Amino acid sequence: MNKKNPLLDESIDSLREKIDAIDSAILSLIEERERCAIQIGKIKKSQHNPPVYYVPEREQAIIASIEKNYKGNFSLDAIRHIFQIIILNCRLLQR
């Protein structure tokens, strides 16, 4: 605890709680994305023989949209990398 200004510690604690809640929301959204990917995989298996799991144009469109809409302070390389990992793992779940 900050002996000089206890408000600083309260502010940090409050922000950390907010970060924890955001992290929880991010995990929930990733899990929802996983469920969608699994469903897409099932549809692909029923409609295509063999199923086509990798659609480069779709992945490029997702990344382009993210790059266009991102307004934060991370580098676009970092954001692109995060989403490439998510997309890759969702593609693996489709199989």
The full set of domain ranges for the chain reads 6-94
Count helices and strands (H / E) in the chain.
3, 0
pLDDT tier at 8, thresholds 50, 70, 90 = confident
Kindly report, residue by residue over 31-90, the tens digit of the pLDDT: 999 999 999 999 999 998 899 999 999 999 999 999 999 999 999 999 999 999 999 999
Largest CA distance in the chain: 68
pTM listed for this prediction: 0.83
The answer as to CATH 1.10.10.10 being correct for domain 6-94 is no
